[in-house]
Structure 1
Amino acid sequence: MKYIIYLVEDEENLNQLLTSYLKKEGWEVYSFLNGSEAHNNITKKPHLWILDIMLPDIDGYQIIREIKAFSPDIPVIFISARDADLDRIVGLEMGSDDYLPKPFLPRELVIRCRKILERTYEKSLNATSENYIHLPPYTINTDTRSVHKEKQLIELTSKEFDLLCIFAENPGKAFTREQIIEQVWGIDYYGTDRVVDDLLRRLRKKTPEIRIETIYGFGYRLVSS
């Protein structure tokens, strides 16, 4: 699976040069020349954003704010020709993972991209810790409470993750709705048990390859593939 990188750089020649270097690494690169184009693609979730701070319309600070609000786990590299110390500090405070002041060598950007991609995706997927549950094609990290399909992060809510772990840690075991409510919502929950059905529906939509079977009149269980 190719990494997908979004590059936002308003200097057209530099944009083309950086895009060329990034594509040589085998990555799928989409480049934008202004903040508006980037803003229109925030919901598409690449593996990495490379973001110039000085843009002709929407500045990089506003873009990273929206990126992190929508998907806080996606890494961002800031690039800028402005005051390096100030931009680095502000960028880190807003959630950037790295900062590269202009001018820089394109190869340095490639190296920094590779390190961030490996740190964010590959190391977590290749780990053999007891905190990992392998439920092909998904890998569940109970320590960071994250789920990946190959190298793609699956965005789950806290309760969706808890429900997934109940089944992943107990393949083949049947659970009643009451048992699920106690483990996910707690013993003090008051309300209809149909909340389980709604939560499971959302989980199935996000992880369609996982087979959770409905046992009519009883509850649910994970079916081994």
Structure 2
Amino acid sequence: MNNYIVYLVEDEANLSEVLKAYMEKEGWQVTVYDNGADALEAVQEPPHLWVLDIMLPGTDGFQVLKGIREEEGDVPVIFISARDQDLDRVLGLEMGSDDYLAKPFLPQELLIRAKKLLSRVYDSTSQESRKIELNDYLIDPEARIITDQENPEEPLDLTTKEMDLVLLLTEDVGTALSREAIIESVWGENYVGSERAVDDVVRRVRKKMPRIHLETLYGYGYRILSS
């Protein structure tokens, strides 16, 4: 567990409190700013990650992002917004944000994206060390290949969604994700359909990877256990 420093800039007190609690559970140090002016004053001591709302009183998120890039060009930034999603997404990416989340979103979705971003930016380990050994399966997230170590020459034949699900749940083995969080990460936030799609993919993964400990949390979602 890495002790990352995160600056969360969000003027909705209830939302910032929830997001802060979720990130602190990961062992991260989270400082909350409820306005853009105070956030701008903090850019001289950059964190590992900014989570930045666009709609802020006074100085908006775009101005804060500009200040962040002028002071410390490489620090990752996740934009969040409840406004025009397409316009904000384009403007944010053009100005240098690394990711974008449209409100409303699940806290788990922010955590998933933050972990991916932090790992990509700060994890200096080799691709080989990123491989995951789990129940005699070797999972290579970079290459998107899973092999059964009883037959290592033949990668498992998983569909895109099956692979996405396994990689998502093995990012943090033992952590439960709701069906809603899985849908948003694997199918996308614009998915229209039943959550039963998750159950169907889980069933196929269990058939193709019979030794994987893919546990059902009834009424909630799924998690993968190490044993």
Matches within 5 A, 1:12-27: 12-27=13-28
Q: For residues 69 and 98 of structure 1, what CA distance do their matches in structure 2 show?
A: 18
Mapping of residues 1-225 of structure 1, within 5 Å: 2-122=3-123, 125-127=124-126
Cα distance per residue 1:96-131 (max 9 Å; x no partner)? 000000000011001100000000000xx21389xx
Corresponding letter in the other structure for 1:113:
A
Amino acid at match of 1:25: E
Question: 1:169-188 CA distances to partner (integer Å, 9 max, x unpaired)?
Answer: xxxxxxxxxxxxxxxxxxxx
Counterpart amino acid of residue 59 in structure 2: I
Query: SS state of the match for residue 44, structure 2?
Result: helix
SS at match of 1:42: coil
- CA deviation after TM superposition for structure 1 residue 36, in Å: 1.3
Looking at structure 2, the residues matched to 24 and 128 of structure 1 have their Cα atoms a distance apart, in angstroms, of: 27
User: Distance between the aligned counterparts of 1:41 and 1:71, measured in 2?
Assistant: 11
Counterpart of 1:116, as a letter, is: L
| SS state at 1:37 partner | helix
SS at match of 2:59: coil
CA distance in 2, matches of 1:91, 1:97: 8
RMSD: 1.4
Matching residue's letter, 2:126: A
Deviations 1:180-213 (A, max 9, x none): xxxxxxxxxxxxxxxxxxxxxxxxxxxxxxxxxx
- 1:126 alignment partner, SS class: coil
CA shift digits 1:68-100 (9 cap, x unpaired) = 111111000000000000000000000000000
In 2: Cα distance, 1:128 partner to 1:33 partner? 38
Distance 1:105 1:93 in 2: 25
Tell me how far apart the structure 1 counterparts of residues 52 and 58 of structure 2 sit (CA, whole Å).
14
Write the distance in 1 (CA, Å) between the matches of 2:108 and 2:126: 28
TM-score by length of 1: 0.55
**Equivalent residue pairs, number:** 127
Q: Secondary structure at the match of 2:111?
A: helix
| Letter of the 1:74 counterpart | V
Percentage of pairs with the same residue:
56
| Residue aligned with 2:117, SS | helix
Question: Per-residue CA shift, 1:16-53, capped at 9, x if unaligned?
Answer: 11100110111111111111110111111100000000
In the alignment, the residues of structure 2 paired with residue 39 and residue 17 of structure 1 have an alpha-carbon distance, to the nearest angstrom, of 23
Which runs of at least 4 in structure 1 moved beyond 3 Å after TM superposition?
none
